[in-house]
Structure 1
Amino acid sequence: MHKFALTLAVAATMVVSASAAEVVGISPTKPESGPYVKIDSGYMVPYEITIPGTDAKLKMIPIPGGKFKLGSPESEAGHTAAEAPQIEVEVPPFWMAEHETTWKQYKPYMALYESFKDFKAEGVRPVTDDNRIDAITAPTPLYEPSFTYEYGEDPQLPAVTMTNYSARQYTKWLSGITGQQYRLPSEAEWEYAARGGTDTAYHFGNDPEKLDEYAWFDGNADESPHLVKEKKPNQYGLYDMHGNVWEWVLDQYSDEGFARLEGKKLKALDTVAWPTEPDPLMVKGGGWDDDPENLRAASKMGSSDSDWKEEDPNIPLSPWWFTSYPSTMVGFRVIRPLEETPKKEAAKFYVPEIEFLNLDVSDRLIEGRGVLGLVDPELPAAIKKAE
């Protein structure tokens, strides 16, 4: 039985180096205070790392395993067919970022484009058939920064307008340089964490009148995103799970909901609708310009390349960036599973099997409008040496 202490006001955070010999985020002894999850090897606890090669911090919160009903009942206000039928899902324990990925955390990944270009020109850290599994693409420089930075680029604002592919590549970069497996959550993992152990529309109940305490949305956001962690967290210590920005998950969006999963015994990754088409891909949680119904834990939205890239002058359109509303309120946050998926199988977390997307990325690499680079614990030192 997993135990989860919720005395978050006095939570003890384990601050560790990503290269520490012990397993990051696991304590052999029970913490005297703060949240924890009991596991066979000890206790999952909150931890904070400095992302290698940067001065950006990343704080991860342990989420206990358990079972829940994915989706929403027909009686829930705002319910849609895409949220039905409800299905029971078992979710193994994992860590989740306490807030959305911020510009401070995302910009070092954006800066890799120039570093990878320099490496390629100098023949440093070449990508080969043997090491390609450890390579990523970095996002190309912004064509028109005013689209992406329409609401500013404060380091503590959520990063926005990246594509699902770019968010996945970010998580692969983070995994490579830390030696820990980070990725986007599945819809089931995201929704389970957002609910905070409840089965109501919001983690605080069914009454949207209480949203002002926990979320930025159409009723209080003044038509713009806000800095992370300005509202109250949920029961697990996660901020902004309702509102502020929508968040990418692994799944393809479908109006048909969960009919394909009825009657099956499921764990979280069994539920993933692995993408095969460029859109619609799924975002969860609602944004600063949304009504309360779109902020429910079960709510979801599908992406649209043609609409979200309407102002993109690239032909074909950029695999890394959107330009247009509502992508200006779309971001993501990372999770780290307790049990890692083997590297070859984990490839699906980072590059979806979408033929059109992969051909587009390949063409850009051939044309020199994109660049590959290796991500591993030695990357930060290699970048520093090249400066």
Structure 2
Amino acid sequence: MPHLSDLRYNARSHSSRDRFARWTIASAALMVAMAILAPTITQAESPASATPGISKEKPASGPSVKVAEGYMVPYSIKVPGTDVTVEMIPVPGGEFMMGSPESEEGHREDEGPQVKVVVEPMWVAKTEVTWELYKEYMKLYGIFKDFESKKIRPITDENKVDAITAPTELYDPSFTYEYGEEPQQPAVTMTQYAAQQFTKWISLVSGTQYRLPTEAEWEYAARGGTSTAYSWGNASDNIEDYAYLFDNSDEGAGFVGTKKPNPFGLHDMHGNAAEWTVNAYTENGYADFADKQPIAAVDMVKWPETAFPSVVRGGSWWDEEKEALRSAARLASNDEDWKEEDPNFPLSPWWFTSDPARGVGMRIFRSYKELPREKITKFWEASADDVKGDVQLRIEGGRGGLGLVDKELPAAIEKLQK
């Protein structure tokens, strides 16, 4: 299992809010400038297409991917029922060698053997999920509780397939928010299960499939077409141009999208917040897939059978070692350590409390071709029996929010709140 940094709660200054106050104006200006340089279209503006992110004509500028219907293009989705927008970037399909060669500085045994992987075109969120958006998901806990008490939108055997759980309210927000909860900081400390349910919520409320990536999809997106240790090369000399890390960000994560993007136009794939995948961690790396190559990236999954260890990618601002931010670097989750300071019993299936989990977040992906329901469900729901049991125990004990999600949910919430 990979080494987990022995970084503790008291190791850092508690002055992150002061730090953000000093550079909020500069960060905001940079984000505005980048928005001008990388225009996107909204779903409503997508020309002559019912599919978000598909244009019949090749755009005059910006990234695009030729497909049967026309061109995959950048687009923005305003999550229904919120004022929050997510930018999605088209990523071309291709083949790559997953993992790192033994000659790569920082190489670890669990990053091999290298395996040839085939990746289909996909859209990837330009940045990590922010607190601005994740807090909209968090609000559903109270809303679902109100629905339940008023017998509104009840869960039945027929519709429970479209139900999600919302994370319980934070018992002690100081654990999660010590290093900031600014709207444009990446959301952190959610479990893999909470991240999966988040993507199910966005999918069902918008009518478009979103999900966590497989490890292979994440690495392909992070590499941006490169085969070097980082998406900009093998040397870490200019890492601070692309990543928030311990050296320049030891009081919290930075605002998303304020560092240089990788060749695919994706920001913060290295550093800032580490990002969840759906894969269980494998100590023997990719040995189980070696005789199956080339293998499709969406199928290169070992589904978790227990709550941990699962795979987190990209490194975070907590990492002192720059090698932890390489494209091939892996981190195994550890619920026992990451929930060490959780005062709840049983421990929360939605939240972590302890480092390095306060550097763990997520990013959403979308396949070019929708996955069949039985397959996408594996991305949205827990596969580990112990996680399922913990969630069910919480729901039965009245300490979990369970609610139906569909396109009518925003109107139902608005009516409830009048």
TM-score (norm. length: structure 2): 0.89
Which residue of the partner structure matches residue 271 of structure 1?
300
Which residue of the partner structure matches residue 249 of structure 1?
277
- Give the share of equivalent positions with the same residue, in percent: 54
Q: Secondary structure at the match of 1:60?
A: strand
Deviation at 1:263, TM superposition (A): 2.4
Which residue of the partner structure matches residue 301 of structure 1?
331
Which residue of the partner structure matches residue 16 of structure 1?
43
Alpha-carbon distance in 2 for matches of 1:9, 1:111:
31
Deviation at 1:342, TM superposition (A): 1.5
Q: Secondary structure at the match of 2:282?
A: coil
Asked if structure 2 preserves the Cα contact closer than 8 Å seen for 1:161 and 1:331, the reply is yes
Letter in 2 for 1:280: P
Alpha-carbon distance in 1 for matches of 2:363, 2:52:
19
Distance 1:337 1:18, change over 3 A: farther
Distance 1:8 1:102, change over 3 A: closer
Deviates more, 1:271-280 or 1:138-147: 271-280
Which residue of the partner structure matches residue 210 of structure 1?
238
Alpha-carbon distance in 2 for matches of 1:39, 1:366:
47
Structure 1 stretches lacking a partner, 5+ long: 1-6
**Equivalent residue for 1:65, pick from 93, 100, 104:** 93
Q: CA deviation digits over 1:259-304, x for unaligned, max 9?
A: 0111213001221111111101110000112121000000010111
Deviation at 1:204, TM superposition (A): 0.4
**Equivalent residue for 2:185, pick from 141, 151, 157:** 157
Letter in 2 for 1:187: E
Letter in 2 for 1:197: G
Letter in 1 for 2:42: V
Letter in 1 for 2:354: S
Asked if structure 2 preserves the Cα contact closer than 8 Å seen for 1:223 and 1:289, the reply is no
Deviation at 1:371, TM superposition (A): 2.3
Alpha-carbon distance in 2 for matches of 1:144, 1:174:
26
Count of aligned positions: 381
Letter in 2 for 1:64: P
**Equivalent residue for 1:102, pick from 130, 139, 162:** 130
Q: Secondary structure at the match of 1:372?
A: strand
Deviation at 1:49, TM superposition (A): 1.7
Which residue of the partner structure matches residue 309 of structure 2?
280
Alpha-carbon distance in 1 for matches of 2:250, 2:344:
32
Letter in 1 for 2:349: P
Letter in 2 for 1:24: P
Distance 1:123 1:60, change over 3 A: same
Deviation at 1:9, TM superposition (A): 7.7
TM-score (norm. length: structure 1): 0.96
Asked if structure 2 preserves the Cα contact closer than 8 Å seen for 1:69 and 1:87, the reply is yes
Which residue of the partner structure matches residue 196 of structure 2?
168
Q: CA deviation digits over 1:79-135, x for unaligned, max 9?
A: 111100000000001101000000001001000001101111111111111111100
Asked if structure 2 preserves the Cα contact closer than 8 Å seen for 1:200 and 1:206, the reply is yes
Alpha-carbon distance in 1 for matches of 2:386, 2:83:
36
Asked if structure 2 preserves the Cα contact closer than 8 Å seen for 1:100 and 1:228, the reply is yes
Equivalence map 1:1-387=2 (5 Å): 10-17=37-44, 22-264=50-292, 265-290=294-319, 291-387=321-417
Alpha-carbon distance in 2 for matches of 1:353, 1:10:
41
Asked if structure 2 preserves the Cα contact closer than 8 Å seen for 1:136 and 1:173, the reply is yes
Deviation at 1:18, TM superposition (A): 9.8
Q: Secondary structure at the match of 1:101?
A: coil
Structure 2 stretches lacking a partner, 5+ long: 1-33
Q: CA deviation digits over 1:299-357, x for unaligned, max 9?
A: 01011111100111111110000001111100000001111111233211111211111
Deviates more, 1:338-347 or 1:208-217: 338-347
